[in-house]
Amino acid sequence: MAIERTLSIIKPDATARNITGRIITKLEDAGLRIIAQKRVRWRTSEAQKFYEVHKERPFYDDLVAFMTSGPIVLQVLEGEDAVARNREVMGATNPADAAPGTIRAEFAESIERNSVHGSDSPENAAKEIALCFSDDEIVG
Annotated active-site positions, please?
Answer: 117
132 forms part of the interface with ligand GDP (CB under 6 A): no
Binding mask 40-79 for ligand GDP (x = CB under 6 A): -------------------x--xx----------------
Counting Cβ atoms within 10 Å, is residue 127 exposed (0-12), middle (13-18) or buried (19+)?
A: middle
Q: Which is nearer to ligand GDP, 76 or 125 (CB)?
A: 125
Q: Give the span between the Cα atoms of 140 and 131, in whole angstroms.
A: 18
Task: Please state the separation of Cα 50 from the chain's center in Å.
Answer: 12
20 forms part of the interface with ligand GDP (CB under 6 A): no
Q: Give the span between the Cα atoms of 122 and 94, in whole angstroms.
A: 22
Q: Give the span between the Cα atoms of 27 and 30, in whole angstroms.
A: 5
80 forms part of the interface with ligand GDP (CB under 6 A): no
Least distance in Å: CB of 79 to ligand GDP? Answer: 19
**Residues making contact with ligand GDP (CB under 6 A):** 59, 62-63, 93, 111-112, 114, 117, 120
